[in-house]
Structures are given as C-alpha cells and as structure tokens.
Structure 1
Amino acid sequence: MFITLIAVGRMQRGPEQDLVSTYQKRLPWRLDIHEIDIKKPAQTADERKAREAERILAAVPDGAVVVALDERGKHLSSRDLAKKFDGWSGQGFNSLAVIIGGADGLDESVRQRAELTLALGTLTWPHMLVRAMIAEQLYRVWSITAGHPYHRD
C-alpha cells in the first residue's frame, strides 16, 4: 500500500515529528507526507478553505482512495478501519490519501471527494499531534491486517 498523508501546515521539529518518523520507519507500507502551506492570507475562512481544498485535491494521487479527517466523520475502531483497508485492497486499490485540513476545517469539495470521512473522537486535537496519531493508526491497521501482535483487543 502506498499512502500519502496530505496535511495543511508545516511540521516543525519536535516530539510530534519524532513520533511521525518512528511510525514511518516501522510501517512496511510507503508513507509520504505532502504539506500544504498557503502564505497569502485569505479574507475569510471560506476563502482559506477553498484555497486549501484546491491544493489538497491536486495532491491526491491518481486512483487513490481518499480518507478525510473531519470532526463530523465516522467513528471507527481500529479493527473496523483495518476492515476498510482490507476491502479497498481487495478491490484492487493500492494507493490511499489521508487528508488533514487546516484550522478552519475542510472545504465541502474535499469531504465530497472522500470515500471515508473519519473522526478521531469528539475532542479537538492539535493538527501536528493528529499527524502522529494517524501515523500510529496506519501502523496499527497494518499490524491488524498482517496478524502482527502490536494491536490488542
């Protein structure tokens, strides 16, 4: 599986980056990170989200399954997420794009493009920590699908 993590904002060095790197190294699947950084300020949140959406959607690899993180998304267990991955793999998909929006959330065009809109619970998380959490979940999904003992129920 080839995974592209598309995230708005630039990650700085620190513990969150260390965690992302740790899971990138552990994960047998290829995990690339594509950062979206828009320097020109927008007048409104809707304008900012529309600009981000344009860049986000352009970064999605051709033929990739799209998973968008959104507070209004589905709440899945790690096992249920692994079943989704198995299903996509069984349908012949070998590329996945996981999208983390900016501080104002995702434009509707991104949510509509997604095959799965996923919530990480009802709490609000810092965007940089979400990257680490997603990297860990990707490793966990791999461990479940591979029968590796990392995940325990």
Structure 2
Amino acid sequence: MRLLAIGKTGAGPEAELFSRYAARIRPSLTLVEFAPGQGSVAEIKRREAESLLGALAAQDFAIALDSGGQTPDSEELARLLARWTESGKKLAFLIGGAEGFDATVIARANARLSLGRLTWPHMLVRPMLAEQIYRAQMILAGHPYHRAGRP
C-alpha cells in the first residue's frame, strides 16, 4: 500500500505522527513524495499529474484524496477499504498539491475520498489518512481501538 503525495514532509511532528501510524498498518503504508510543480496553475497541475500518474502501475487501485470525493465515517471507510483490498490490486492513495489535481488524475482514480469539507494542510492529511487506514483495519479485525459506542 502506498501514499503518493506532492510536497516534501521533512522532519517534524507531522512526519513523526505519519510514521507512527504507517508502521502499524499491514501491509505497510509507504510514502512516496514528489516535488511540487512550477509555473502557471495549469502547468503546476500538469507536472504534478505527470509525477503521480507516472508512479502508478496500470493494475494499481488509485484513491484520490479530493474534496469532491466520498465522505465516509470510520466504519464506512473500513468497508470501503475491505472492498478495495479484495479487488486484489495494490492500493495507492494520492494527495495532490496546493492547486489540486489535474483532471487526468481524477479520471484515472478508481475512487475519490474526502476527509471532510474543511481544508487541511497537506502535511496534516498524511498522518490523518494513515490513522484512518489503521482505524479501518482495527474495525475490520474487531479490535477495540475504535470505540463506536462512545457518546
């Protein structure tokens, strides 16, 4: 399972938090980062799309983190993750740059996922997504990590 993201995390609390959750996920979640594009907005999107799409294999199941995507709760995400995993394809989550995705990335995506209507810094989305993937796996395993019954 991979997370393909535009921008470099560097060292810091966001990277540490991502690493903490990514290490718990099975199969492990590998982060692959790409430099942000340069130029006009259209050129930035095109260059970033080229990087992201170039890293995908034809058989990968691509999930674009996009504000127009599905907004499941954690239990619904667990069911989605199970379905995506059962496809037998390798999962690749995609995080775009500050300008968003080029239309070619959305067209290639097998699914679109939103972490909600709020705008999040891209460096925070990485650990948030990793935690939600881990939570989904714990839900599927029947582990008490997720406390659905709490008020």
| TM-score with structure 1 setting the length | 0.91
Contact 1:61/1:97 (CA < 8 Å) preserved in 2? no
Using the TM superposition, name which of 62-71 and 119-128 deviates more: 62-71
Query: Could you tell me which of 88, 98, 101 is aligned with 1:106?
Result: 101
Q: Rate the CA distance shift 1:124–1:38 in 2: closer, same or farther, 3 A.
A: closer
Secondary structure class of the residue paired with 1:102: coil
Contact 2:6/2:35 (CA < 8 Å) preserved in 1? yes
Counterpart amino acid of 1:83?
Answer: R
Counterpart amino acid of 1:72?
Answer: G
Secondary structure class of the residue paired with 1:30: coil
Contact 1:8/1:36 (CA < 8 Å) preserved in 2? yes
Which residue pairs with 2:64 in the alignment? Answer: 68
Which residue pairs with 2:86 in the alignment? Answer: 90
Which residue pairs with 1:12 in the alignment? Answer: 10
| TM-score with structure 2 setting the length | 0.92
Q: Distance in 1 between matches of 2:49 and 2:25?
A: 28
Q: Deviations over 1:95-138 (max 9, x none)?
A: 10000000000011111111111111111100000001011111
Q: Distance in 2 between matches of 1:103 and 1:7?
A: 11
Which residue pairs with 1:58 in the alignment? Answer: 54
Which residue pairs with 2:35 in the alignment? Answer: 37
Residues paired across the two proteins, number: 148
Instruction: Report the alpha carbon displacement of residue 88 of structure 1 after superposing the two structures with TM.
Output: 2.4
User: Unaligned 5+ residue runs, structure 1?
Assistant: none
Contact 2:36/2:97 (CA < 8 Å) preserved in 1? no
Instruction: Report the alpha carbon displacement of residue 38 of structure 1 after superposing the two structures with TM.
Output: 4.2
Which residue pairs with 1:78 in the alignment? Answer: 74
Which residue pairs with 1:132 in the alignment? Answer: 127
